[in-house]
Chains A and B, each alone.
Chain A
Amino acid sequence: DVKVTQSSRYLVKRTGEKVFLECVQDMDHENMFWYRQDPGLGLRLIYFSYDVKMKEKGDIPEGYSVSREKKERFSLILESASTNQTSMYLCASSRVGGLGYTFGSGTRLTVV
């Protein structure tokens, strides 16, 4: 019954590494989103995409990039990981004009 799948539940990476977080949805949703979740800060939008090859910056895009080559897959890329990117990363999808997201289970990334 899983509809939004994030490839890794836990990741540990070294400072300066290039990191890929993958997200796949099977609901044919047009919109996909990447958030990071931090205690006391809630969820903050990093990037979102409303179509294949389309992307828009969210509130905190610095240090991140994204890729959406296929409708069902939305990748978050940390070009050069830093310790302040240690966080829980949540992927979500939604339908155009639809209300409410379907979330993945999250990837807890630790950068050491």
Chain B
Amino acid sequence: AQRVTQPEKLLSVFKGAPVELKCNYSYSGSPELFWYVQYSRQRLQLLLRHISRESIKGFTADLNKGETSFHLKKPFAQEEDSAMYYCALSGFRGAGGTSYGKLTFGQGTILTVHP
């Protein structure tokens, strides 16, 4: 079974402060990890994925297989970063290794960046 845990329901920081949103996962195989974000009154959208090793809007996330973690980090938070953030894992493989892309999501963390 695969599981994603985001231990913080709420996280508040001040503008310019570093922010880290925690994500831990449980999966026996080699997972694909994602971060999704939902801004107020907008649809859920992909923020970043670990295989791309990219930085989006200043956010980065490193997959730590030893600690089974995929924490999202930003060195200097901005007010526009205030949103709901979900960590997600894809580990489902069909016949022949085809990925059906089934994602398991964490409980979500609401980030509030104060001015």
Contact = CB atoms under 8 A, between A and B. Distances in A.
B101 to A, nearest CB: 4
Contacts of A94: 101
Contacts of B105: 35, 42-44
Interface in B25-55: 32, 34, 36, 43-46, 49, 51
Q: Which 7 A-B pairs have the closest CB atoms?
A: A43-B105, A42-B107, A94-B101, A103-B44, A100-B46, A42-B105, A105-B43
Query: What band does the interface of chain B fall in when counting residues whose beta carbon is under 8 Å from A?
Result: 20 to 34
A45 interface: yes
Interface of A: 31, 33, 35, 40-45, 48, 50, 56, 58, 90, 92, 94-101, 103-106
A92 B32 CA distance: 18
A58 B9 CA distance: 24
B86 A42 contact: yes
Contacts of B94: 50
Interface of B: 4, 6, 9, 32, 34, 36, 43-46, 49, 51, 86, 88, 90, 94, 98-108
Given A42-B107, A42-B108, A48 B102 contact: yes
A98 B100 CA distance: 8
Nearest to B105: A43
B19 to A, nearest CB: 20
B106 A31 contact: no
A34 B88 CA distance: 15
Contacts of A35: 105
| Most chain B beta carbons < 10 A, residue from A33, A42, A104 | A42
A56 B92 CA distance: 12
A96 B46 CA distance: 17
Given A42-B105, A50-B94, A101 B46 contact: yes
